């Protein structure tokens, strides 16, 4: 907060808000890759596929497909960032 005067104690509030904003944006960006990695790791796990698919169930109902769909749903923040719509966090 250089060059700006703030009432006593308000600088800490602004710093806390800045940290919370940064952490929030990082968590939004972490969701899609995390679910993508989980889908990749579960793709070869035949025992989990058998449990999730059940007797005669579709292979589209397994855990890898669920994780892949969750990764797609959470791509929004990445698309905003790549499209230039995300505003940078400034102090």
Q: Is residue 3 part of a domain?
A: no
Q: What is the pLDDT of residue 88?
A: 57
Residue 1: pLDDT over 50: no
Q: Is residue 22 part of a domain?
A: yes
Q: Is residue 4 part of a domain?
A: no
Query: Whole domain around residue 33: which residue ranges?
Result: 10-83
Q: Is residue 2 part of a domain?
A: no
Q: What is the pLDDT of residue 28?
A: 84
Q: How many domains does the chain have?
A: 1
Q: Is residue 49 part of a domain?
A: yes
What's the pLDDT tens digit per position in 41-70?
888 766 655 555 555 556 566 788 888 999
Q: Is residue 19 part of a domain?
A: yes
Burial code (b: 16+ CB inside 10 Å, e: under 16) for 37-65 equals ebbeebbeeeeebeebeeeeeeeeebbbb
Considering the chain, what percentage of its residues have pLDDT values greater than 90? 10
Q: Compute how many other C-beta atoms are within 10 angstroms of the C-beta atom of residue 91.
A: 8
Q: What is the pLDDT of residue 14?
A: 67
């Amino acid at each position: 907060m250089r060059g700006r005067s703030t009432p006593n104690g308000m600088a800490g509030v602004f710093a806390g808000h800045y940290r919370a904003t940064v952490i929030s944006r990082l968590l939004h960006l972490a969701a899609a890759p995390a679910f993508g990695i989980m889908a990749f790791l579960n793709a070869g796990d035949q025992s989990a596929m058998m449990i999730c698919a059940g007797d005669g169930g579709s292979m589209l109902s397994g855990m890898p497909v669920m994780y892949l769909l969750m990764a797609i749903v959470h791509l929004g923040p990445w698309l905003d960032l790549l499209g230039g719509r995300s505003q940078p966090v400034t102090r």
